[in-house]
Amino acid sequence: MTGTIQSISTNTSNGAPAPPIAIAVENIVKRYGTFEAVKGVSFSVADGEIFGLLGPNGAGKSTLIRMMTTLVPITSGNATVAGHDVAREPDAVRRVIGVIPQALTSDPDLTVEENLSIYAKLYSVPRAEREKNINEVLEAVDLVKWRGAQVKTLSGGMRRRVEIARGLVHNPHIFFLDEPTTGLDPVSRIAVWEMLNHLRETRHLTMLLTTHYMEEADKLCDRIAIVDHGKLVALGTPIELKQSVPGANVVEVHFDREAEQWKARLEGMDGVTSVQAESAGFYRVLTSSGSRTTMQLVELAASLGETITSLSVQNTTLDDVFVHYTGRQLRDEQVKAPVFMMPPRPGAQP
Amino acid sequence: MNRMFAIVEREMRKFFRSPTLMIMSLMMPILQLLIMGNAFGGKIVGAHVAVVDYDHGPEAVKIREGFDAIAVNIKTFTTVEYTDENKAREDVRTGKIDGAVIIPAQYSRRVYAQDAPRIGFVVDNSDLFTSGSLESEMQALVTALTTPVIQPRVATAIALEIVELYPYVNYMKFLLPACVALAMYISVMIGGGMLYIDDKARGVHEGYLVTPITRLELVMGLNMAGAIKAVLSGICLTVIGSLMAGLGVIFHPEADLELLCLILGTSIAFNGMMFLMMVRVDDPLVPRAMFGVLNLLLFYPSGAMYPIAAFPPWLRAIAIVDPFTYCVHGFKSILLKDGGFVAIRYDLLFLFVFGISTLLVATPLFKRTL
C-alpha cells in the first residue's frame, strides 16, 4: 500500500454543510537539491478540527508544518491558511497562526511574563489588550503563579506550557504544533493533551500537530494523516483508519520456542488476515475475531505439544494501521536512522 | 517599529540577566590595561653592573662617583666590584650581572693628555630593553664627563630644542585607546556574534520568523541591541580606564561628546562587520573559532601597539580597511591629545560609513526563512 494515498474520510455523509476549510494543502512538494522531502501531499483541515500528521522521524512532517507556517519556502504546489496563500501572503498567514516549534525556544533567562510580553509586541498586540491576553493565556495553561519565574527554573512540562501560551498570546485562529509532547514524561504528556483539548473547546482553535506517538494521535486528533517518506499514505479519523485495516483484533502470542512453520500455520487459521513475526516465537496476529483465533491458537499449541507463555487480545491500534499502510512498524522506524533529518539544528530536541 | 524594539528589549533584558557576560566583556580589556600597562610601561630599576677598574686614578674615581649618583637617585643600576675583566664578561654572558664597565689602565692619564680616552661597556644585547636603558644611562654619564666645566661664551655646537606638546604619556595611557577598542570588540563578539548564533541554533530565531516581524525590523533590532551593548561597554571602559591611567580628559564635557560619538561610530562599525560575517552562519562553533583569529587580524594591524608607518605594505593595506585603526586613532586623538572634532572627523566618517555599508550588505543576505 506504500505510496498510495488512502482517503477514508466520510465527512459530509449526513448531508450537513461542510465546515469551512481552515488549511488547504494541494500537491505540495519540497526539494532540497535532489532530495525530495515532501512528495506531492494534499489534504485539508476543517475549521475547529484537530488534525494530526503521524509518521516516523524523517517522514517529512516537520517540513510540511514549516512550509505551512512560512518557515520554509514551498518548492511547488499550493497551501492556503485561513484563506491566505502561504507563498504569496506570508505576512497575512503569520498574523492568524500560532506556532509551537519542536524545540523549546522561549528565552530561558527571561520570565514567563516577559517572554509572553515580547511575543505580544512582535505580533503587534495593542498595549491595552496585551496585559489582558497574557493573563488569559497564563490562566489557560495554568501558569499564573509562575508568571514571574525565569523560564530556566521551570520543569520540561511547564516550559512546554509556556511555549503553548506564547503561541496563543495574540489570539490566533489556527495553531500549529510540531511534536508538542516530545521529551515529556507520560504525566506531563497527558496534561498537555488535556490542555490542548480544553483550548480547542474554549477558544475554537483549529489545530494541526505532528507527532510520532500513536497514542497522542489517537486521543487528540479528529483526523489523522499518516506520512511516510514524504508521502501521505492514509487519511481519516482514528476509527476510520482502524476500520480500514482488515481484522478487528490483534492477538499477541508468545510461544516458549520457535517451532517450524509457525507463521504459515497461523496464517492458515480462520479469520486471520495477517501475521507479523516480532521475535523468536512471538507473533502479532491480525484477525476478524479475537476470541475464535485465541481458541484455535490454544488448540493448535496443545495438539503440537507446544507451550504458550503469554497471550493477549487487543483491538486494532494505529500501529497496526501504520504497519498495514507502510509495511513496517512506526516504533521500528524510530529506532532506525532516519532517512532525512531537517533542518540540522543543534538546539532541537531529538 | 514596536516589533524592532521588542527584539531590542529581549536582547537587553537577556544581557542584564547575564552579569557574567558583562563582566567578561569588560574584565579582559581592564586586565590587559592593568597588566600590560604596568609591565611594559616601567623603567629599568636595580640592574647590576660590574666595575673593573685597572686605573684607580682621579678620572676613574669621577666615573665611580657618577655610578653612585645613579644608584641612589634614578636607581637604574648598582655597581659590583670586579678585579678580573674575563670573569666580569663571563658573568654578563651567564646572566649573573647585566653589564660590565671596564676602566682601562692609564685612563686618567689619557684624559689629561686628551689622548682618545676610552671606557669599555659590555652588555647583554639579547635583552634589548635592559641593554638599551643601561647604554642610555652610560652615554648620559660619559656626555656629562666630557662637557667642559666652564662653558665657552660663544656656542659653536648645534643644539636641538625639543618641545613636547603633551604631558608625559606612560604606557598605560598609551594603551588605553586600544583597550577601549578591544572592550567594544569583545562586547560585540560575545554579546552580538556568539549570542546571535547560539539563539539561532537553539531555535529562538525560528520563534521570531513565524511572527509578522519584517526582515528589516529583525536585522535592525538585533543590531541596535548589539550596538547598545557595545556602547555601554565602551563608556564603562573609557571612564574606568581613564581613571586608572590618570587621564582627566573625561571631565571635559566637549571631550565627552567627542568620545561618545567615537564610541557610537565604533559600535555601529563593529556590529555591522560582525553581523555581515555571521549572517549566514549556523554553527555555534564558528564565532568562537573566529574570535581569536579576528582579534589578531584586526587589533594588531590597527596601530594600537606599534605605529602603522613601520608596517610592510601588505599589513598597511589591512590597517587601511580595518575599523580598529580608525577607532584607536580617534580615541588616541581625544584621550591623549584632546584634539577635538577636527582630529577625529575622518575616523568618524569611516566608522559610520563602514558600519552602515556592512549593514546594507548584510540585510538582504539575512534569510527570512529557515
CATH code reported for the domain at A246-315: 3.30.70.1560
Q: Which contiguous run of DSSP H or E holds residue B349?
A: helix B340-365
Q: Specify the DSSP class assigned to residue A317.
A: -
How large is the average pLDDT for residues B95-103? 93
B43-62, pLDDT tens digit by residue?
888 999 999 999 999 999 99
Q: Which region holds residue A207: left if phi is over 0, alpha if psi is between -120 and 50, else beta?
A: beta
Instruction: Choose, out of A75, A107, A110, A163, the residue to mutate when testing the contact with B (most B CBs < 10 Å).
Output: A107
Listed in sequence order, the residues at least 6 apart from B342 whose beta carbon sits closer than 8 Å to its beta carbon are none
pTM: 0.79
Distances (CA, A) of A50 to A194, A199, A237, B129: 13, 11, 10, 79
Q: Which contiguous run of DSSP H or E holds residue A52?
A: strand A50-54
For chain A, list residues whose CB is within 8 angstroms of any CB belonging to chain B: 66, 69-73, 91, 94-95, 97, 99, 101-107, 109-110, 114, 118-119, 121-124, 150, 166, 343-348
Distance from CA of A148 to the nearest CA of B (A): 14
Least CB-CB distance to B210: which of A69, A103, A124? A69
Least CB-CB distance to B211: which of A94, A110, A150? A94
Q: Which residue of A has its CA nearest to B19?
A: A109
Secondary structure class of B122 (helix, strand, coil)? strand
With 70 as the cut, is the pLDDT of residue B108 above it?
Answer: yes
Least CB-CB distance to B2: which of A70, A121, A348? A121
Beta-carbon count within 10 A of A332 CB: 11
Using an 8 Å CB-CB cutoff, list chain A residues near B6: 118, 121-122
> Of A40-44, A53-57, B16-20, which one has max mean pLDDT?
A40-44
A213-249, pLDDT tens digit by residue?
888 998 899 999 999 999 999 999 998 888 888 777 8
Q: Which residue of B has its CA nearest to A168?
A: B211
With 80 as the cut, is the pLDDT of residue B73 above it?
Answer: yes
* C-alpha–C-alpha distance, residues A195 and A344, integer Å: 30
Which of B136, B317, B147, B287 is CA-nearest to residue B226? Answer: B287
Using the beta-carbon criterion (under 8 Å), do A124 and B212 form an inter-chain contact?
yes
Least CB-CB distance to B207: which of A101, A124, A150? A101
Asked if residues B262 and B346 have their Cβ atoms less than 8 Å apart, the reply is no
Distance from CA of B220 to the nearest CA of A (A): 14
Listed in sequence order, the residues at least 6 apart from A24 whose beta carbon sits closer than 8 Å to its beta carbon are A44, A45, A78, A79, A80
Q: What was the pLDDT predicted at A189?
A: 87
Beta bridge mates, A29:
A39, A76
Q: Which residue of B has its CA nearest to A163?
A: B207
Among A104-108, A271-275, B145-149, B230-234, the least confident range? B145-149
How large is the average pLDDT for residues B242-260? 93
Q: Specify the DSSP class assigned to residue B278.
A: H
Q: What was the pLDDT predicted at B288?
A: 87
Using an 8 Å CB-CB cutoff, list chain A residues near B370: 66, 71-72, 343
Q: What was the pLDDT predicted at B190?
A: 85
Q: Which of the four pLDDT bands, split at 50, 70 and 90, describes residue A204?
A: confident
> Of A55-64, A118-127, A237-246, B283-292, which one has max mean pLDDT?
A118-127
With 60 as the cut, is the pLDDT of residue B302 above it?
Answer: yes
Structural domains present in chain B: 2-39+170-365 (no CATH), 43-142 (3.40.1710.10)
- Burial level of A329, CB count in 10 A (0-12/13-18/19+)? middle
Beta-carbon count within 10 A of B282 CB: 14
Using the beta-carbon criterion (under 8 Å), do B207 and A91 form an inter-chain contact?
no
Beta bridge mates, A109:
none
Using the beta-carbon criterion (under 8 Å), do A70 and B209 form an inter-chain contact?
yes
* C-alpha–C-alpha distance, residues A295 and A25, integer Å: 47
Q: What count of Cα atoms within 13 Å lies in the side-chain half-sphere of residue B29?
A: 30
Domain residue spans of chain A: 21-242, 246-315
CATH code reported for the domain at A21-242: 3.40.50.300
Using the beta-carbon criterion (under 8 Å), do B210 and A110 form an inter-chain contact?
no
Least CB-CB distance to A118: which of B9, B17, B210? B9
Q: What was the pLDDT predicted at A3?
A: 41
Q: What was the pLDDT predicted at A330?
A: 58
* C-alpha–C-alpha distance, residues B215 and B23, integer Å: 32
Distance from CA of A65 to the nearest CA of B (A): 11
> Of A29-33, A278-282, A327-331, which one has max mean pLDDT?
A29-33
Tell me which amino acid residue A57 is. Answer: N
Return the C-alpha cell found at B18: 547575564
Query: Longest C-alpha distance within chain B, in Å?
Result: 97
Q: What was the pLDDT predicted at A71?
A: 94
A186-196, pLDDT tens digit by residue?
888 888 898 89
* C-alpha–C-alpha distance, residues B217 and B209, integer Å: 11
Which of A213, A293, A218, A217 is CA-nearest to residue A248? Answer: A293
Share the mean pLDDT of chain B.
90
Q: Are strands A272-279 and A308-315 parallel, antiparallel or unpaired?
A: unpaired
Q: Are strands A21-32 and A308-315 parallel, antiparallel or unpaired?
A: unpaired
Q: What was the pLDDT predicted at B262?
A: 97
Secondary structure class of A10 (helix, strand, coil)? coil
Q: Which residue of A has its CA nearest to B10?
A: A118
Return the C-alpha cell found at B323: 575599523
User: How many residues does the structure list for chain B?
Assistant: 370
Asked if residues B176 and B38 have their Cβ atoms less than 8 Å apart, the reply is no
With 70 as the cut, is the pLDDT of residue B258 above it?
Answer: yes
Instruction: Choose, out of B11, B210, B281, the residue to mutate when testing the contact with A (most A CBs < 10 Å).
Output: B210
Q: What percent of chain A has pLDDT over 90?
A: 46
Using an 8 Å CB-CB cutoff, list chain B residues near A121: 2-3, 5-6, 9
Q: Specify the DSSP class assigned to residue A255.
A: E
Least CB-CB distance to B212: which of A72, A95, A118? A95
Q: Give B83 or A17, the one with higher predicted confidence.
A: B83
* C-alpha–C-alpha distance, residues B47 and B69, integer Å: 14
Q: Which contiguous run of DSSP H or E holds residue B232?
A: helix B215-245
Which of B267, B204, B251, B98 is CA-nearest to residue A110? Answer: B204
